[in-house]
A and B are shown apart, each in its own frame.
Chain A
Amino acid sequence: MRTIYFILRKEFTQLKRNRTMLPIIFIVPLVQLLVLVNAATLELKNISLTVCDYDLSPASRRLTSVFDASPFFNVHKYSFSTDEAISHIENSSSDMVLVIPRGFETKMVRENKAEVQMLFNAINGTVAGIGNAYANQIFIQTSKAYFMEFAGLTSGQLNTLNINAIPAFWYNPDMNYKVFMVPAILVILVTIIGMMLAAMNIVREKEMGTIEQINVTPIKKIHFIIGKLLPFWIVALVMLAFGLFVGKIVFDIPLQGSLVLLFANAAVYLLVMQGFGLLLSDTADTQQQAMFIAFFFLIIFILMGGIFTPIESMPLWAQWLNKLNPIAYFMKIIRMILLKGSTFTDIRTLFLSLSAYAAIVLTIAITKYRKVN
């Protein structure tokens, strides 16, 4: 215990003096939260739209004006040639083309239905998919209003005409993307501190040669490892608290569930990542190597972990792969606890999986770590 105390005291002294590490720990998370949460959004606004209105009727103008008034669409060109409109997509000045055929209004009045054509630039599949959904909403609402005013149908008759789905978004009723992103950024934050900084700290001693001096002392391997990992475990948890505080103040993220439960999960999750960090420090001889290897794994772990894209919509093999991805577990847990107010019963399986994972990785890492060669 005394040995651990002396190592911890040394680590915190060095951490305090380190002029590159300290800003990384405190400023990076702030920047990440403030910039990334605002910038990395899947909400689409200002989809640029070219309208080909061949009908030029009150009904077609009305439809166009609804698109123009919507915050999601921006009618930037009118055209009388579908080919010309498509060329706007080809040169990327438009994301979408709306073609209203001749006889649109007549068909509306006579047959109570009419067709329009939508063409999307699907290079960015997200824009196409979400744009399509938004546009459909506009068609439903506009046609409904049109039938009520011009065809004289009552809303009762309308309901028999078409079934209108009104979505309700649970756990995030306003579809506030930031609420979804803040927990994800916090996961990345604690991961980088717990895994990468801890690994780099050990490798730094290798680089400077001081590890050799440590290895000739009677320090036990386990004491050294605890002394090296514990400081970053503590710092990561403090940063999680700090990040939650910033998230609450700046983005008003909901804190539905128990914070104690959240921190208990974070504590176990960090053990997994520290195990990986220790394995990494065993492999790498320089801080540069450690950083490259860490980035390689972190990028895969993070992008697969459901930060932007739901794991449920990934192909089956990817979902299986994610069973090995600790970030996926914690990403899910933190969102469940913060946004949904999940209790221990809800996340028990995830928590136990993480605990088993931590036990396995740490055991391998500690066994593999050698003072003697």
Chain B
Amino acid sequence: MKTDKIVISVKNLIKDFGSFRANDRLNFDVYEGEVFGFLGANGAGKTTALKILCGLSRPTSGEVMVSGCNVYTQSNLIKQKIGYMSQKFTLYEDMTVTENISFYAGIYGLNFKQIKNKTMQLLSSLGLEGEAHKLIADLPLGWRQKLAFSIAIVHDPAIVFLDEPTGGVDPVTRRQFWKMIYEAAAKGVTVFVTTHYMDEAEYCDRVSIMVDGRIAALDTPANLKEKYNASSMNEVFLGLARHTSNK
């Protein structure tokens, strides 16, 4: 559940690639247990910011704290506390379900007993007991994504970053996926999610919308709709995107 404790704090974050400014003075805070939606058109700079928060990329300047750790100096500590699932498929296709679970659990430092328990628990909550020894390559995409999410939080991280987790997934599985996100958030995990689906934006506690490397809006979906006089997040998003392209 959402609390008042700040787990991600970003002040004046700038990231340049040569002369191109991908992130221009970003400022936002994310609270513990919150489902934080990170929206934006393709190329708006979402993934760049996300990679900086995960320690995959170094910011050009600005202050960034993730779970109490500085991204410049404590990126290895951050990695212990976060989970990550990218838009690309991140499980090993030539390994079985169990092998993938125990590999990731192992490199996050769980001991053999914990790995065994986690595996059983994961398989039963996903209903994958029958597929435990099947190769990932033989699983349907929706199942893989649900498994990838479960593996991303196998070490009980404080924050989980999801980069377009539901791309190419059918609506039924997407709903199940969001149910899993809520379950994780209910346990106190902060969820930081990027998406292109505006109906998913409605599920978030708060949403930020990035346009051309800047944060153009940040509020709850209800407030945003009211402010932009829109009936859905889709309209909010289109309004903001159009606003900038007319500039």
Contact = CB atoms under 8 A, between A and B. Distances in A.
B88 to A, nearest CB: 3
Contacts of A17: 94-95, 135
Given A3-B107, A6-B107, A218-B108, A14 B55 contact: no
B103 A216 contact: no
A263 B211 CA distance: 60
B108 A216 contact: no
B56 A372 contact: yes
Nearest to B56: A215
Nearest to A219: B107
Interface in A18-62: 18
How would you classify the secondary structure of chain A's contact residues: helix, strand, loop or mixed?
Answer: helix
Given A209-B86, A216-B79, A218-B80, A10 B92 contact: yes
Contacts of A2: 106, 109
Contacts of B54: 216
A22 B89 CA distance: 25
Contacts of A219: 107
Contact of B76 (A7, A18, A218): A218
Interface residues of A, number: 26
B89 A13 contact: no
Interface string A351-372: 0000000000000000000011
A217 interface: yes
Interface in A200-233: 208-210, 212-220
A9 interface: yes
Nearest to B88: A209
B208 interface: no
Interface in B86-142: 86, 88-95, 99, 102-104, 106-109, 135
A373 B88 contact: no
Contacts of A215: 56
Interface in A327-373: 371-373
A371 B56 CA distance: 7
B90 A209 contact: yes
A216 B55 contact: yes
Nearest to A214: B107
A210 B90 contact: yes
A161 B32 CA distance: 104
B216 to A, nearest CB: 27
Interface of B: 54-58, 75-76, 79-80, 82, 84-86, 88-95, 99, 102-104, 106-109, 135, 161
Interface of A: 2-3, 5-7, 9-10, 13-14, 17-18, 208-210, 212-220, 371-373
Given A10-B103, A214-B107, A215-B56, 10 more contacts: A6-B103, A10-B95, A13-B95, A17-B135, A210-B90, A213-B86, A216-B82, A216-B84, A217-B104, A218-B107
